[in-house]
Amino acid sequence: MATENPLNLLDLDRGGMEALFASIGAKPFHGRNVFKWIHKHGVTDFGQMTDLSKKLRARLADMVEIRLPQIILEKPSSDGTTKWVMELEDGQRVETVYIPDGRRSTVCVSSQVGCALDCSFCSTARQGFNRNLSVGEIIGQVWHASRIKGVPTNVVLMGMGEPLANFEPVVSAMEIMQDDLAYMLSKYRVTISTSGIVPNLYRLKERSDVSLAVSLHAPDNELRDQLVPINRKYPLEELIPACRDFIRGDKRRKITWEYVMLDGINDSDAHAKALIRLLEGTPSKMNLIPFNPFPGSDYRASPPERIAAFRQRLLRAGIMTIVRKTRGDDIDAACGQLVGRVRDRSRRTVSVPLSSVQEACR
């Protein structure tokens, strides 16, 4: 008889898979084999796992499952970007974005249903927050992308949610991304983005070897308090040292800073000068992101000439600075535009849908 609410094998990293097989009297290497079948070969049918005995395959089919998020909409962009809306077991929806760039390809992965941090310029934040994603729901996004587009060269946890607010599942999912029997991504090819949950930054250094991107968006506490409210709890004088500590000891590492350019808000020469002072002594790469408008927002994107001037000032100060090319904005897949469908538990209200993609899913 099949087990009620069977274990989802997508929730297990390689060590967890080996331990599971040992616990049922099988050899740990069978766990490694199943792990490889799922992630490297994309096989979810135990019957096709031909290096397992028929008896073991039958036992697995009775005990456990391989449950993936379901793609309910695929939306291609004119620039080659693809956005998938994925529905989870409880009916919640998250969004995942595939971005090709020559020989490189990046998958932008969600870590929560919605987001509780309420950054004022972000469409996802307007949806509120419902819950964290499981390991299987996070890695399942990479699994789907790899089957449809091929294994990506890069994965960024920059989709819906604050990854460091869902610490354990995110760390486990990143371990699977880097595993040689799975997606074989190097530590420089997996990037976790955070708005600045400082205690978990220190935990992350002890647990995971990946690249770090920080949603900065302002050079001082007064402005960042307005744009990124988590700053009120973990201000810049705590965040910047934690970031420096994260890359200490690796000369190849830089902190990637994300800075959304908001017209008349954070884009003046004075802001650039303050940003240079703030980052002095920190190995840095600055991503200037043109603001992606969404219904109900009061912000406007900085004019291109203002962004260019801002960039030149940072470059002259020795800070590697690029202007991120907006990708997928015609399908609401650009930075800050992912919304999925969220039953908001943080505000106890039903959020108004902001995404045309979400409307198409109903």
Query: Using only C-alpha atoms, what is the Rg of the chain?
Result: 21
Cα-based torsion angle of the residue sequence 47, 50, 54, 55 in order, rounded to the nearest 10 degrees:
-100
Joined tokens for residue 300: 């406007």
- Residue 262 forms beta bridges with which residues? 301
Cα–Cα distance list, 89 to 54, 140, 169, 175, 243 (Å)? 29, 12, 17, 24, 36
- Which residues in 242-259 are b (16+ Cβ under 10 Å) and which e? bbeebbeeeeeebbbbbb
Do 16 and 22 form a contact (C-beta atoms < 8 A)? no
Joined tokens for residue 311: 């960039």
Residue with tokens 């354990």: 168
First to last CA, the chain: 36
Q: What is the C-alpha separation between 85 and 160, in angstroms, rounded?
A: 12
Q: What is the C-alpha separation between 202 and 199, in angstroms, rounded?
A: 5
Q: What is the C-alpha separation between 183 and 185, in angstroms, rounded?
A: 6
DSSP-derived 3-state class of residue 259: strand
The secondary element (H helix, E strand) that includes residue 261 is strand 255-261
Joined tokens for residue 193: 């983005």
Q: What is the C-alpha separation between 93 and 265, in angstroms, rounded?
A: 32
Name the residues annotated as catalytic: 95, 335
The secondary element (H helix, E strand) that includes residue 106 is strand 104-108
